[in-house]
């Protein structure tokens, strides 16, 4: 049976049988770029599509392929605001800390809007961060939930279609993609595989009318030190106060670099990106979405006060951090924590030392935050994420890809 027929059967009747047939075909890697583009459009247009009043504006965003320790989905929109872009950001739950679930920790920050409200917010500040729902790309949400259920999330052709469907629903004409290369990555375990999938993403994006660039980052090591939903807010506060350690400063520069590479060159002419401007843009977004900079500051400082638990090194040598295990540990307790919150936030970590640092026995390597009776168990599982080696780990590099 032809791939397009299988896609059409799923679109017309998204039953589990038809979803599995599509997944099986995607696993065989027979879907052409043309058919992936066709699927992305059908998914993106299965609900409402954001309609912007200014048709000539640069409508842009930078999603990611998922992974811990990055703030790109929080910082890049603030940079794009400074470039006079429109950023209708359709977000999904992160593991452990996606942009939408981090911002939701700020009291009164709203993430559910109808199309008119989104348009009004975009007219006000240029940036609206809202969550996937039955209104926007509902067929993509249904397929994604089923893929999660059957363990079929890391299938590149379906990842590409899913990401682009949300950009179609949001009305984008420019997008970046933060490709997080790691053993748990949805775009490949190695730079070679991730680069191949990134080039395919760029080609499919062109077929649906979106100009795309991909940024390949090594996520086998941490990008910055603040890991967790609340901790990401604290990291933003450190940026806005210019109180950054080396790793956070480097990560901020990386995020700025990604954002500057997405819109056309004329959008960035004579633009100065400062932490003061990012802080101002962040405040605008908070107000437009029902919260305030004061509530953000208080929340971030409350998180900081909870970081009094310390884990120290067990020996001398080069520090190795298992980022997959660290992510899985935090996600485990997020999922087990019983609360009415849409995005529970019972724990988080701040790294005091980095991967490949030489450390000595009893040196402090992190602080952690933990709520409830699982604190001791959480600490024990955290300890297992860190080891001491005789030699430093070899790391990969950073790469930018765009349509030739």
CA-to-CA dists, residue 201 to 92, 187, 262, 332, angstroms: 19, 10, 15, 31
Domains, the chain, ordered by start: 48-135+149-293 (3.40.1030.10), 306-389 (3.90.1170.30)
Distance CA 214, CA 197 (A): 10
Q: What percent of the chain has pLDDT over 90?
A: 78
Distance CA 94, CA 66 (A): 7
Mean of the per-residue pLDDT values of the chain? 92
Distance CA 116, CA 130 (A): 13
Q: 129-146, pLDDT tens digit by residue?
A: 999 888 899 999 899 989
Label residue 163 exposed, middle or buried (CB < 10 Å: 0-12, 13-18, 19+). Answer: buried
Joined tokens for residue 115: 């199309």
For range 274-294, the mean pLDDT: 97
Q: 341-383, pLDDT tens digit by residue?
A: 889 999 999 999 999 999 999 999 999 999 777 899 999 999 9
pLDDT of residue 397: 66
Q: 26-62, pLDDT tens digit by residue?
A: 999 899 999 999 999 999 999 999 887 666 679 999 9
Residues sharing a CB contact under 8 Å with residue 345, sequence separation 6 or more, in sequence order: 105, 228, 229, 230, 334
């Amino acid at each position: 049976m032809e791939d397009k027929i299988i896609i059409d059967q799923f679109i017309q009747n998204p039953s589990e049988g038809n979803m599995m047939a599509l997944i099986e075909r995607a696993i065989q890697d027979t879907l052409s770029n043309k058919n992936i583009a066709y699927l992305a459009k059908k998914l993106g247009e299965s609900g409402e599509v954001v309609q912007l009043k200014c048709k000539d504006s640069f409508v842009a965003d930078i999603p990611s392929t998922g992974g811990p320790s990055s703030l790109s989905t929080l910082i890049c929109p603030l940079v794009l605001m400074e470039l006079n872009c429109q950023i209708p950001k359709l977000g999904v739950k992160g593991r452990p800390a996606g942009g939408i679930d981090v911002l939701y920790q700020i009291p009164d920050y709203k993430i559910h809007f109808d199309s008119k409200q989104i348009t009004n917010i975009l007219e006000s500040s240029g940036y609206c961060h809202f969550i996937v729902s039955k209104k926007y790309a509902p067929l993509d949400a249904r397929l994604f939930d089923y893929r999660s259920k059957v363990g079929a999330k890391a299938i590149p052709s379906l990842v590409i279609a899913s990401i682009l469907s949300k950009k179609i629903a949001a009305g984008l004409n420019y997008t970046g993609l933060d490709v997080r290369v790691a053993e748990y990555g949805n775009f490949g375990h190695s730079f070679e595989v991730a680069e191949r999938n990134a080039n395919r993403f760029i080609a499919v994006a062109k077929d649906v009318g979106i100009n795309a660039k991909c940024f390949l980052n090594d996520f086998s090591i941490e990008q910055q030190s603040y890991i967790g939903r609340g901790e990401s807010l604290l990291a933003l506060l450190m940026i806005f106060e210019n109180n950054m350690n080396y790793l956070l400063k480097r990560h901020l520069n990386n995020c700025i670099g990604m954002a500057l590479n997405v819109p056309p060159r004329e959008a960035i002419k004579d633009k100065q990106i400062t932490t003061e401007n990012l802080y101002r843009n962040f405040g605008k977004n908070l107000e437009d979405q029902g919260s305030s900079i004061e509530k953000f500051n208080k929340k971030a400082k409350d998180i900081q006060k909870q970081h009094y638990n310390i884990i120290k090194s067990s020996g001398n040598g080069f520090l190795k951090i298992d980022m997959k295990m660290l992510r899985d540990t935090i996600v485990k307790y997020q999922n087990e924590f019983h609360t009415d919150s849409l995005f529970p936030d019972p724990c988080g970590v701040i790294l005091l030392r980095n991967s490949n640092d030489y450390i000595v026995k009893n040196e402090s390597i992190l602080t952690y935050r933990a709520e409830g009776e699982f604190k001791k168990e959480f600490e024990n599982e955290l300890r297992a994420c860190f080891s001491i080696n005789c030699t430093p780990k070899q790391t990969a590099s950073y790469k930018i890809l765009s349509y030739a």
